[in-house]
A and B are shown apart, each in its own frame.
Chain A
Amino acid sequence: MIDTDAVRGDFPILERRINGRRLAFLDSAASSQKPVQVLDAMADIYRNSYANVHRGAYTLSHEATEAYEEARHKVAVFLNATSDEEIVFTRSATAAMNLFAYGWGLNNLKSGDRILTSVMEHHANIVPWHIIARHTGAELRYMELTDGFRLDLEGAQDRFDERVKVVAVSGMSNVLGTMPPVGEIARLAHEVGAVLLVDGAQLVPHAPVDVQTLGADFLGFSGHKMLGPTGIGVLWGRRALLESMEPAEGGGEMIRDVRLYESDWAEVPHKFEAGTPPFVEAIGLGAAVDYLSAIGMDNVLQHDRELTGYALERLAGVPGLSIQGPADTVDRGGAISFDLTGIHAHDVATILDQEGVAVRAGHHCAKPLLRSLGLTASTRASFYVYNVPEDVDALVDALGVARRIFGLDGP
């Protein structure tokens, strides 16, 4: 159980009133709010220990470097990684997946090879593969969904063959909430000798993740969706694979030696961290990881699940509302997308905002998925540690207002 009163007290923004109403912030899947602990950790570095990392031989630089590497250690422990060196800091989940696509994909794929992904992916796990496919001649293949909005692994069995060199799937869909069976996908991928990249942008913030048992070979995620700041993300990879992977960017920090016509790379993870890294943001992420660990990721998952169950139940009572996503809370996270007959998602979001309810409307950066569902836009409510049943009630009430304004309640 989460003590939501105590948690909410750590998030100053939740006290804001929006259009005179209590804020019901239901867009954490896009980006979460930040507790004071994260804000303070970053302010503390800027105020007291700020200097560039891994360079100066002076006190401030040393302190900043220590704090940066300490953050890496916290993330490693959070994921149960074998060593801190398996944690590569990036700008975001998007940058993490691009790093993998360019560093691994560009150098290991060739014409005739296949990249297997799924229709429920975020653009960040599709567009890089379009680029890599164009460069290498490899072909992109998709796994489909079942009618129940689950990944159709049954139907995709025949797509796992020796031509598949990389499988790239989301650990939790930001639209459907679906959490596909990563372990099972890993087994199928490894059987044919493919490596598995998991897009953990939604999974890592919302569920306990242990990379020793997850089954993935690489995992990318963003700090800003898990109480941390923007501008920081992580690519975790198995050490041996990271060591054999090429860097995607060159510059300072990532080299051992540079001559006129060639250079040698630094050891992992530094060979993937060209230039001054977003180290203050990494330190902020470290504080966010501390915060989540103190709550316990099992509790986070359970809390999201309870709210999701309550929301699914309440939303079922809204006439004309259909949910795109599993109807129960099994292997499902707290992102609920829906369509309201007769009202476009954009209108829903505007009306909800007037009622203090913040939701996302649009294609959620998953256009292939929405197209396959016959939609161009939907509305999404998503939950996190600071949400309470009252937020769900505010959502349902505001949907009633939307229906009234659009004259959907009959004459």
Chain B
Amino acid sequence: MALEDLYREVILDHYRNPRNRAALGQANAVADGHNPLCGDEVRVELLIEGDEVAAIGVTGHGCSISQASGSMMGDAVKGRSIETIRILTGRFKGMMSIDGAGDPGLDPNRPGAVLGDLESLQGVRKFPVRIKCANLPWTTLEEAINNFVASH
């Protein structure tokens, strides 16, 4: 049944026990994202050292999909270079696009850009109104990185 595709156990686990949830004391890149439709809010804080995201904090509130996506995103981007994160972001959004079936970005062997748990969010694609929820943390992450790059 479609609902089970959406609410995979790993998603519910990230929702109940979100990782990277703490606000960063020493962030040097921040962005706030919100979905005016449903009121979801997310804040992404990054500590960028050199060209690498050394630490990430994802806070806010919202539905299971936006929260799980943010939690998994934190795990996936921590310790990665900005370039890798951009690739990862592209892949994630590709996976979320309605025609994303068979997206080449899902090759789990590609070094440095593994979606891992994030693949569990594939089922969201079947629920078009929820795609925005899954993308919200990523769009906010992109904005935080862009803010950082623009000011450095």
Cα A362 to Cα B63 with chains together (Å):
10
Q: Are A361 and B12 in contact (CB under 8 A)?
A: no
Binary B-proximity of A329-351 (CB < 8 A = 1, otherwise 0): 00000000000000111110011
* Residues 96-113 of chain B, each 1 if its beta carbon lies under 8 Å from chain A, else 0: 000000000000000000
Task: State the interface size on chain A (CB cutoff 8 A).
Answer: 20
Interface check B64, CB cutoff 8 A = yes
Q: Judge whether B40 is part of the interface by a CB distance below 8 angstroms.
A: yes
Asked whether, in the complex, the Cβ of B7 is within 8 Å of the Cβ of A346, the reply is no
A376 touches B3 (CB 8 A): no
**Which residues of chain A in 358-402 are interfacial with respect to chain B, using CB atoms and an 8 Å cutoff?**
361-363, 367, 370, 376-377, 401
Closest to A367 in B: B39
Given contacts A344-B64, A376-B61, A407-B12, contact A350 B41 (CB under 8 A): no
CA distance A377 to B35 in the complex (A): 12
Q: 8 Å CB contacts to A: which residues of B20-55?
A: 37-41
Q: Is the CB of A346 within 8 A of B38?
A: yes
Interface residues of A (CB under 8 A from B): 19, 343-347, 350-351, 354, 361-363, 367, 370, 376-377, 401, 405-407
Determine how close the nearest CB of chain A comes to the CB of B125; give it in whole angstroms.
13
Chain B's interface size range is 20 to 34
Residue interface mask B1-16, A partner, CB < 8 A = 1: 1111011000010000
Contact with A along B101-141 (1 / 0, CB 8 A): 00000000000000000000000000101100100000000
Q: Are B39 and A406 in contact (CB under 8 A)?
A: no
Q: Pick from B38, B61, B64: contact of A361, CB below 8 A.
A: B38
Contact B7 A405 (CB under 8 A): yes
Q: How far is the CA of A19 from the CA of B2 in the complex (A)?
A: 10
Output the least CB separation between A340 and chain B (Å): 12
Given the known interface contacts A363-B39, A376-B39, the answer about A347 and B3 at a Cβ–Cβ threshold of 8 Å is no
Nearest CB in chain A to that of B6: its residue: A350
Q: B2: which A residues are within 8 A, CB to CB? A: 19, 354
Q: Which of these, A345, A351, A367, contacts B3 with CB under 8 Å?
A: A351
Q: Shortest CB–CB separation between residue B47 and chain A, in angstroms?
A: 27
Q: Which of chain A's residues have a CB closer than 8 A to the CB of B130?
A: 346, 350
Q: How far is the CA of A407 from the CA of B8 in the complex (A)?
A: 11
The 3 A-B pairs with the shortest beta carbon distances in the complex, nearest first, are A346-B63, A344-B63, A363-B39
Residues on A with beta carbons closer than 8 Å to the beta carbon of B129: 350
Inter-chain CA distance A347–B130, complex, in Å, is: 9
Give the chain B neighbours of A346 by CB distance below 8 A: 38, 40, 62-63, 65, 130, 133
Nearest neighbor of B4 in chain A, beta-carbon distance: A405
User: A347 contacts B64, CB within 8 Å?
Assistant: yes
Closest residue to B9 on the A side, CB-wise?
A: A407
A114 to B98, CA, bound (A): 50
A395 to chain B, nearest CB (A): 16
Residue of A354, A362, A405 near B38 (CB, 8 A) is A362
Contact partners of B39 in chain A: CB under 8 A = 362-363, 367, 370, 376-377
Q: A362-B37, A407-B12 are in contact. Are A354 and B63 (CB under 8 A)?
A: no
Question: In the bound complex, how far is the Cα of B39 from the Cα of A377, in angstroms?
Answer: 6
14 A-B pairs with C-beta separation under 8 A:
A19-B2, A343-B64, A344-B63, A346-B38, A346-B62, A346-B63, A346-B133, A347-B64, A362-B38, A362-B39, A363-B38, A377-B38, A405-B3, A407-B12
Closest residue to A375 on the B side, CB-wise?
Answer: B39
Within 8 A of A (CB), among B55-71: 61-65, 67
- Let me know if A344 and B12 touch, CB within 8 A: no
Within the assembled complex, what's the spacing in Å between the Cα atoms of A139 and B2? 51
Give the docked Cα–Cα distance between A370 and B38 (Å). Answer: 12
Name 17 extra pairs, CB < 8 A, besides A346-B62, A347-B64, A405-B3. A343-B64, A344-B62, A344-B64, A345-B38, A345-B63, A346-B38, A347-B65, A350-B6, A350-B127, A350-B130, A351-B3, A361-B38, A363-B39, A376-B41, A376-B61, A377-B38, A406-B64
> Which chain A residue lies CB-closest to B13?
A407
Q: Which residues of A contact B64 (CB under 8 A)?
A: 343-344, 347, 406
